[in-house]
Amino acid sequence: MEKKSSRDRYGEMSGTKIESHHKPEDFAVRGKEPKDEVQIYTWKDATLHELTDLVKEVAPEARRRNAKLSFAFVYPDKHGRFVLRVVGMTHSSGRRPDDHKALAELNFQIGDYLDVAIM
């Protein structure tokens, strides 16, 4: 029997890029998102630390001991232009203050993109 979770599940698209974030306009055309896009499923109470672990599973660069991961939300503003808002930074190893920030606490909305810069 499948155990049901009390967490609300998000389907989210995540792009990863080495050294910098994507440009907001890279997400403007549905179906033409960045080629390094990864689709992940998570929950609104997922923390940036949990997302770091997910990124490390699919991006070898994120596994480097000294890797830093910068998280940003990409979404359309009230005029329909895409904007990028950096929401936190984690490290591949060790704990940092942003590790415990949850998507909901950072105002992530269903339909937003999550962009991760691996530095």
Give domain status of residue 67, yes or no.
Answer: yes
Q: Which residues of 69-97 are buried (b: 16+ CB within 10 A; e: fewer)?
A: bbbbbbbeeeeeebebeebbbbbbeeeee
CATH number at residue 18: 3.10.20.550
Predicted confidence (pLDDT) per residue in 32-46, tens digit: 777 777 777 788 899
Q: What is the domain extent for residue 78?
A: 9-118
Give domain status of residue 62, yes or no.
Answer: yes
How many structural domains comprise the chain? 1
Give domain status of residue 2, yes or no.
Answer: no
Give domain status of residue 1, yes or no.
Answer: no
Predicted confidence (pLDDT) per residue in 102-115, tens digit: 999 999 998 888 99
| pTM attached to this predicted model | 0.81
If you search the block for the tokens 């937003």, which residue do you land on? 112
